Structure 1
Amino acid sequence: MFKKSLIMLSLVSSLVMASKEEFVGSGKGYNGDIKVRVSVENKKITDIEVVKHEESGFTRRAMKKINDEILSSQSLDIDNIAGATYTSEGIKEAVGKAIASSGVILNKVAKKATINEELKDLETDIVVVGGGGAGLSAAIAAKENGARVILLEKMPMVGGNTNYATGGINAADTSIQKKLGIEDSAELYYNDTMKGGKNLNNPSLLKKLTEESKYAIDWLISKG
């Protein structure tokens, strides 16, 4: 009896495992191909994993959001993430190719979530419009100086154009350079930037930027 039970349990486990399948597909992203692994169970998508991509680091949030929406709606008819349109299209193309031979029948139109908005008045000292690098810095600095701050951003992800900087920032005579023994100066930075701008830069603004850039670096380091 015990042996029969083990055999039955093994058969059930085999059937459950057999109903779970994985399919791989790829689509064109902004910087290259995006490869996904799609798990299917009982003719439904149960998981989407991005296994390879060449996209910028900030698009990871967009990828997760797109994957979550495909899973919840069981459809590819979902909105792209603003600011990561090519990445969104690449994910959807990859998933579509992965399940082409899986037997999964996706919903033609994704169910749109109903939003019940409750409007209320808010009071604050400062409203910062735009959550790019400048807006985020302004909001944080205002908060540090005791102000109540509301930051508004129209896109689904903050960061703005700074997202595309991929971690790069220009500065001269910084504490990091000094530790590494790199000789640099605000004057060199000024001349280089003026040349890059074909001498059309605002001199006083550029002087301010190049002379105080090192303090911006220290400030960012202090924020982790």
Structure 2
Amino acid sequence: MGTPRDTREDQVEAVLERLYDAYPDSTISLNFSNRLELLIAVMLSAQCTDERVNKETADLFEKYDTVEDYANADEDELSEDLNSITYHNSKADYIVTSAQMMLDKYGGEVPDTMDDLTELKGVGRKTANVVLQHGHDIVEGVVVDTHVQRISRRLGITEEHTPKKIERDLMEIVPEDDWQQYTHLFISHGRATCTARNPDCSDCVLEDLCPSSKLDSDVDLASGEAWG
């Protein structure tokens, strides 16, 4: 049986209060200057660090400026331009194909609905949520990346395993006004303290709220199995 909803809502309120205190300037870490650059950057960030993406897009956004530039790009050349990015061959295909669709179907504009964004090749709900939130100021969900998934489960806020189910769970218990910032705060905390393999529980502002804390638990945080 899972934790009652009221208990989880109280926990979320306490967690958010502390994280807002700890990370007052938490925000998206990808560099972009318009909606198209945001979409490209988020597409590239899948299974790749934001730091690496920012390094690559510094030159990429100089070479490719418009939707037409990407739609007409030589896919092999674009892939070579992205060669330090994880899965650069697939992502080059996604970008070219998506740019062509934006020209053909959306007047060369980045779509502003979840349904339309997720029609673009290589764009799932997580990417679409980021683009809606930071490109169109539309917040209709919670971006569930690896940090959000990991920390939400460690804290017992959700017991779900897939991003789609985790997002649905979070949308029921996280105040809607906090949906966007929830992600940024959890990413900041995941990078600084609650890392995947060696979380620093002794220096964690959430330690006393966390049922997975190593300070009073023999549970392996990553797998849920006992320490060997």
TM more than 0.5: no
Answer 1 or 2: higher relative contact order, Cα 8 Å, separation at least 6.
2
TM-score, structure 2 as length reference: 0.29
* Larger strand fraction of residues: 1
More helix per residue: 2
Q: TM-score, normalised by structure 1?
A: 0.29
Higher Rg of the two aligned structures: 1
